[in-house]
Amino acid sequence: MTTVNPRILPPTPSATNPPLLIGELLETGVRMAGDNQIVYRDLSRHDYRRFRERVHQLAHLLSARGVGAGNVVAVLDWDSHRYLEAFFAVPMIGAILHTVNVRLSPEQIHYTMEHAEDTFVLVHQDFVPLLASMHERLPLVHGYLLCQDEAGKVDTPLPLVGEYEALLAGQPGHYDFPTFDENAVATLFYTTGTTGNPKGVFFTHRQLVLHTLGEASTFQAPGFELLDRNKVYMPITPMFHVHAWGVPYTATLLGATQVYPGRYEPEMLVKLLVSEKVDFSHCVPTLLGMVVGAEAITSGRVDLSGWKVLVGGSPLTESLARKAWELGIDTRSAYGMSETCPLLTAAILPCDIAEADFETQLPWRCKAGVAVPLVHLQVVDESGTPLPQDGESVGEVRVRAPWLTQAYYKETTRSEELWRDGWLHTGDVATLDERGFLEIRDRIKDVIKTGGEWVSSLELENLISQCPGVAEVAVIGVADEQWGERPAALVVPTDLNNPPSSEAIQAFLKRFVDEGHINRWALPSTIRCVDEIPKTSVGKLDKKRIRQEV
Amino acid sequence: MTTVNPRILPPTPSATNPPLLIGELLETGVRMAGDNQIVYRDLSRHDYRRFRERVHQLAHLLSARGVGAGNVVAVLDWDSHRYLEAFFAVPMIGAILHTVNVRLSPEQIHYTMEHAEDTFVLVHQDFVPLLASMHERLPLVHGYLLCQDEAGKVDTPLPLVGEYEALLAGQPGHYDFPTFDENAVATLFYTTGTTGNPKGVFFTHRQLVLHTLGEASTFQAPGFELLDRNKVYMPITPMFHVHAWGVPYTATLLGATQVYPGRYEPEMLVKLLVSEKVDFSHCVPTLLGMVVGAEAITSGRVDLSGWKVLVGGSPLTESLARKAWELGIDTRSAYGMSETCPLLTAAILPCDIAEADFETQLPWRCKAGVAVPLVHLQVVDESGTPLPQDGESVGEVRVRAPWLTQAYYKETTRSEELWRDGWLHTGDVATLDERGFLEIRDRIKDVIKTGGEWVSSLELENLISQCPGVAEVAVIGVADEQWGERPAALVVPTDLNNPPSSEAIQAFLKRFVDEGHINRWALPSTIRCVDEIPKTSVGKLDKKRIRQEV
């Protein structure tokens, strides 16, 4: 890298150059769409002007309870208008928002809250018993603020300071928010790996503002058109999971109507999708699979046509995308991870493909897509050399972008491992084609090596999922004396009483061998039907546990 | 302002956090739309991949000629693919791009080139004689690179180093661009005021990247939809004028097809609008007025319906917007100035107005609009107190945003005047309504004060322009013993042989007095027909010269 000395000119003494702070996003949304609504289940709705006022009130509430700049505020809530308010108010006073993953085990939750040094907690009624069981082991926490949907006293030994709505009501509607360094930490949350304790990742105001601008540009791209002030948005990726992919921030910037569904209950989700005319959601494939498989949808009683769903977390399979399409649901992929804020790539189709029919588009819709603005992405070999962009050469994905976590919180060794050689290592193996379209082939640790050849477990899963009678599938490598490893598949049948035979699935796959899509040695040695496949707390296949079960 | 100490966490030693550099915009465009075209007149066209390659080649060419980081490179060219390449290559090597306003007088041009300390110059054939006359008084310039559209030797004493295309052809297609501080200066140009020498304003890489992201978000907003990779863009605001409002950067980020028309010749402009199917342009009202008044357009021989035009520089009048609409041309306003990069506000219509008919939209289309993302805008009284957002209270517009020039180059006193009290003072007086919609009423120095009451010269111009027989109008205040000042109007008639009488115009205006739009005392005391109204080098009414002529 060349070093140069470009010219930096001093500002005139009175000039100001505002830092990139999260509050800017809210102000823009209010200007663009002050009348648009924030909806919470079938329980409440208010417009953007009131949303801003409530953010100011929450800031007063927190300040009055002794929360100041640099403090860590934990939230344990389902997706709600309250959570959205905390997304803004907590960082805007200079404090750090810790979005607690409520799907972790109680011990892991305790670990993350202690490790994050939480000092104040917003807790939904549902999690009061959980925190009551551990609050004595969280000595730094000096207050618990109750979030409940229905009035009524909660009987608990947890030292609650009051109820969110009741305390908010008494606060002034204007808070004089401070300005400060854009590199101040705004959010913190934990990601679980396959080994060891959860790891904390953190993002600054600058990173979140830039991520939001990059995401906004991506979501407004032709063919995507997911979000603007005329659209209705509802997340189905929890807000504790990488800030619901940062979309609440982007939706706020663009002034979209926002619907928060609370705890994910199938009936409520479907009810809101229909009654609020939701245009856009995002979720993991598993959840989309549940929706398109629900009786109400397949029977045609509920019509979801026109709904756009961005799928991430795990790759979207072609069979799921096709099933959705037949119901009028437009799916597209995006790719990222907790460490990357998360957005890295999005399947914005190449111009010629965008004009083609659905079947031509299908494989492109299921790929990870092109790097979004400001993201540098490479696929490299083991020595760190970029591989040819030929859609064939497989290597690890490494990235640079102005919104990547700069370390794991208080984890020196793992941080350096993540950032070795100055690039963030995703741990994913993929190909890049000549147009820069990324296709994820596998997690590095899930790659199956048989007879010296790499086999993509994702590709096999994609193919097996298209076999009639297969609802879900996971492919892993099992040790083999002769070949090193051999692929093995676990399959959940659509009808538990009438599972497809192993031979039927092999015969189905044979077609792809004959057509040259996969090699003969990629055919699984064993295929086993099971009732359920183990998943992680965010709905991904838990290959570590799957390996233990095979 | 409260001072707080939020948490700043150190990155792990190997982590990188890429600076916001202009090169990122180009990379994104190539990924999104590698096949889209850059068109120059009817002379050349190539795709984005070649565009990138040419930027790399230009960087090599400049480096080989001794241009390095911190040097200032001047460009004197009409709008061209070459200019676009310089927009990227010059800042990307760490040098500063000086976009010379070729419409200034030779002495002013010399002043700006000397003041900017230009060391290398890209010069179009048309300006070779001009520079030949002054190069001995520009001792810092060590090279002049000729830009010409047709082959052929240029006979000149100017020490040319060669021709752009000829020298580019020999350069390697890959340049290893350096990374550096995002606060490095990228561009520099001069703005003329009513008094004194031209003032230099400068913008950093960070500012231009953020401006581009903010502009992209604005231009993709519902109802605007000016730019994306499926759109064709052609500027009709010169590239030396505030980087053609920054739109070439935004168009590149979004991968739009870009058409550069060279010198603005009416026939060529119309030819390109039609043959290239241009979707979007931007220009000053004067230029739009020339287009919609051209015989080829009014006669219907040339159909421009579907063309979207963003109007700025001076306010769009309702009569011009209506005339355009009748030809199928969709106009909208934006507001900004040289010192502000320039975008501050855009007339993104409020949701309810966006759904109304054209006549309801008309006044909104002509207002300045709402502040774009990341812009803070206030209308304040003389003590700096924000006025009520009632659409009535008139005061000065002051702004903060992450893309405002931080000083006038080497002008200590004027810089502090611009930035007094920590806000950039626009010198415009305006109203803000409750939704944050800005309406410019006047330049502070053009406001007419009659009998203690303010009269808006812009409002009067808007009304008089609607009078039959009026082609152009300028209103100024003239000293009056009894009233302090009285409004006076200069009018250019549509038909010089049959000008409207002063009485006819007064009678026309009387209607607006009767309807309560303006006060009786706002009626001009004198109305005079003239052949031409003096304009500045960027096409705005030159009120300083008008005052001298009245």
Percent of chain A residues past pLDDT 70, beyond the cut:
99
Higher per-residue pLDDT: A397 or A151: A397
Active-site residue B417, yes or no? no
A8 contacts B185? CB cut-off 8 A: yes
Structure tokens given for A340: 């990357």
- Of B97-106, B193-202, B240-249, the one with minimum mean pLDDT is B193-202
* Residues of chain A contacting residue B96, judged by C-beta atoms under 8 Å apart: 6-7
Residue A91 distance to chain B (closest CA, Å): 9
pLDDT for A399 equals 98
pLDDT for B453 equals 76
Higher per-residue pLDDT: B458 or A12: A12
Pick A402's closest partner by Cβ from B8, B18, B370: B18
**Best residue in B31, B117, B421 to probe A by mutation, most A CBs within 10 Å?**
B31
B185 contacts A5? CB cut-off 8 A: no
Sign of CA dihedral B412, B413, B414, B416: positive
Please state the three-class secondary structure of B263-292 as a single string: CCCHHHHHHHHHHCCCCEEEECHHHHHHHH
Structure tokens given for B213: 């992201």
Q: How far apart are CA B52 and CA B68, in angstroms?
A: 20
pLDDT for A194 equals 60
Find how far residue B41's CA is from the centre of its chain: 21
B374 contacts A20? CB cut-off 8 A: yes
Q: Per residue in B103-143, pLDDT tens?
A: 999 999 999 999 999 999 999 999 999 999 999 999 999 99
Split at pLDDT 50, 70, 90, the class of A539 is confident
B214 contacts A217? CB cut-off 8 A: no
Q: Where in chain B is the domain with CATH 3.30.300.30?
A: 447-549
Q: Does A1 have pLDDT greater than 60?
A: no
Residue of chain A minimizing CA distance to B181:
A6
Residue B487 distance to chain A (closest CA, Å): 35
Beta carbons of A409 and A422 less than 8 angstroms apart = no
pLDDT for A2 equals 62
Q: How far apart are CA A201 and CA A409, in angstroms?
A: 6
pLDDT for A549 equals 73
Residue with structure tokens 């992450």? B402
The pLDDT of B341-350, averaged and rounded, is 97
B404 contacts A184? CB cut-off 8 A: no
Q: How far apart are CA B59 and CA B173, in angstroms?
A: 10
Split at pLDDT 50, 70, 90, the class of B316 is very high
A24 contacts B351? CB cut-off 8 A: no
Residue with structure tokens 């939904």? A124
* Residues of chain A contacting residue B373, judged by C-beta atoms under 8 Å apart: 24-25, 28, 213, 253
Out of B112, B119, B191, B317, pick the active-site residue: B191
Q: How far apart are CA B472 and CA B524, in angstroms?
A: 16
* Residues of chain A contacting residue B179, judged by C-beta atoms under 8 Å apart: 1
Pick B202's closest partner by Cβ from A5, A9, A406: A9
Q: Per residue in A87-105, pLDDT tens?
A: 999 999 999 999 999 999 9
Q: Does A195 have pLDDT greater than 70?
A: no
* Residues of chain B contacting residue A187, judged by C-beta atoms under 8 Å apart: none
- Of A69-73, A338-342, A506-510, B83-87, the one with minimum mean pLDDT is A506-510
Q: Does B287 have pLDDT greater than 70?
A: yes
Pick A11's closest partner by Cβ from B10, B406, B421: B406
**Best residue in A1, A93, A118, A220 to probe B by mutation, most B CBs within 10 Å?**
A220
β pairing state of B96-99 and A143-147: unpaired
**Mean pLDDT rounded to a whole number for chain B:** 94
B176 contacts A15? CB cut-off 8 A: no
Residue A373 distance to chain B (closest CA, Å): 5
Q: How far apart are CA B82 and CA B46, in angstroms?
A: 12
A5 contacts B94? CB cut-off 8 A: yes
| Interface size between A and B, measured as CB pairs under 8 A | 243
Q: Where are the beta strands (DSSP E) in A295-390?
A: 308-311, 330-336, 343-346, 370-371, 376-380
Q: Give one DSSP letter per residue of B121-145, joined into a string.
A: EEEEGGGHHHHHTTGGG-TT--EEE
Residue B400 distance to chain A (closest CA, Å): 7
Out of B339, B439, B459, B472, pick the active-site residue: B339
Structure tokens given for B437: 């919609």
Q: How far apart are CA A427 and CA A443, in angstroms?
A: 6
Residue A266 distance to chain B (closest CA, Å): 32
Residue of chain B minimizing CA distance to A255:
B221
CA neighbor of A283 nearest in space, from A304, A301, A299: A304
A16 contacts B178? CB cut-off 8 A: no
Q: Give one DSSP letter per residue of A50-73, joined into a string.
A: HHHHHHHHHHHHHHHTT--TT-EE
Secondary structure (3-state) at A399: strand
Pick A6's closest partner by Cβ from B69, B229, B373: B69
Instruction: Enter the DSSP assignment of A309.
Output: E
* Per-residue CA distances from B72 to A4, B75, B93, B99, B139 (Å): 15, 10, 11, 10, 14
Residue B225 distance to chain A (closest CA, Å): 10
The pLDDT of A267-296, averaged and rounded, is 93
pLDDT for B1 equals 53
- Of B211-220, B226-235, B448-457, the one with minimum mean pLDDT is B448-457
pLDDT for B194 equals 59
**Mean pLDDT rounded to a whole number for chain A:** 94
Split at pLDDT 50, 70, 90, the class of A458 is confident
Please state the three-class secondary structure of B459-518 as a single string: HHHHHHHCCCCEEEEEEEEEEECCCEEEEEEEEEECCCCCCCCHHHHHHHHHHHHHCCCC
Residue A388, preceding bond cis, omega within 30 degrees?
Answer: no
* Residues of chain B contacting residue A373, judged by C-beta atoms under 8 Å apart: 24-25, 28, 213, 253
Higher per-residue pLDDT: B133 or A315: B133
Q: Per residue in B153-205, pLDDT tens?
A: 889 999 999 999 999 999 999 999 999 999 999 999 999 865 678 999 999 99
Angle between helix axes A81-92 and A247-254 (nearest 10 degrees) is 90
Split at pLDDT 50, 70, 90, the class of A124 is very high
Helices (H), A375-423: 412-418
Active-site residue B12, yes or no? no
List residues bridging with A15 in a β-sheet.
Answer: none
Residue B229 distance to chain A (closest CA, Å): 7
Q: Which residues of A are the active-site residues? A: 191, 339, 449, 454
Q: Does A127 have pLDDT greater than 90?
A: yes
pLDDT for B193 equals 67
Residue of chain B minimizing CA distance to A180:
B4
Q: Where in chain A is the domain with CATH 3.40.50.12780?
A: 23-203
* Per-residue CA distances from B201 to A301, B122, B376, B406 (Å): 63, 20, 20, 8
Helices (H), A143-284: 164-169, 205-219, 242-245, 247-254, 266-275
**Best residue in A3, A14, A349 to probe B by mutation, most B CBs within 10 Å?**
A14
pLDDT for B457 equals 86
Q: How far apart are CA B169 and CA A368, in angstroms?
A: 37
Residue A126 distance to chain B (closest CA, Å): 31
Domain B447-549 sits in CATH at: 3.30.300.30
The pLDDT of A48-67, averaged and rounded, is 98
**Residue type (1 letter), A78:** W
Out of B449, B494, B526, B549, pick the active-site residue: B449
Q: Per residue in B411-469, pLDDT tens?
A: 999 999 999 999 999 999 999 999 999 999 988 888 788 877 778 888 889 899 889 99
Q: Does A479 have pLDDT greater than 90?
A: no
**A450, A452, A453, A457 alpha-carbon torsion, rounded to 10°:** 40
The pLDDT of A296-320, averaged and rounded, is 93
Residue B42 distance to chain A (closest CA, Å): 25
**Best residue in B25, B213, B419 to probe A by mutation, most A CBs within 10 Å?**
B213
The pLDDT of A41-54, averaged and rounded, is 98
In chain A the first and final C-alpha atoms are separated, in Å, by: 48
Task: Give pTM, 2 decimals.
Answer: 0.91
Higher per-residue pLDDT: A544 or B421: B421
Residue of chain A minimizing CA distance to B354:
A230
Q: Cα-flanking dihedrals φ and ψ of residue B61, to 5°?
A: -60, -45
Active-site residue B107, yes or no? no
Q: Does A312 have pLDDT greater than 60?
A: yes
Pick B6's closest partner by Cβ from A181, A351, A419: A181
Pick A16's closest partner by Cβ from B2, B220, B400: B400
Q: Where are the beta strands (DSSP E) in B22-95?
A: 37-40, 44-47, 72-76
CA neighbor of B191 nearest in space, from B430, B418, B401, B445: B418
Q: Does A204 have pLDDT greater than 70?
A: yes
The pLDDT of A356-384, averaged and rounded, is 96
Q: How far apart are CA B19 and CA B89, in angstroms?
A: 17
Residue B222, preceding bond cis, omega within 30 degrees?
Answer: no
The highest-confidence range among A139-143, A194-198, A453-457, B500-504, by mean pLDDT, is A139-143
Higher per-residue pLDDT: B517 or B362: B362
Q: Per residue in A213-256, pLDDT tens?
A: 999 999 999 999 999 999 999 999 999 999 999 999 999 999 99
Architecture of domain A23-203: 3-Layer(aba) Sandwich (3.40)
Out of B107, B454, B494, B510, pick the active-site residue: B454
* Residues of chain A contacting residue B176, judged by C-beta atoms under 8 Å apart: 1-2
Sign of CA dihedral A148, A152, A157, A160: positive
**Best residue in A2, A7, A205, A351 to probe B by mutation, most B CBs within 10 Å?**
A7
* Residues of chain A contacting residue B68, judged by C-beta atoms under 8 Å apart: 4
pLDDT for B432 equals 97
Pick A370's closest partner by Cβ from B11, B31, B35: B31
Residue of chain A minimizing CA distance to B399:
A16
Q: Which helix (H) or strand (E) holds A443?
A: strand A438-443
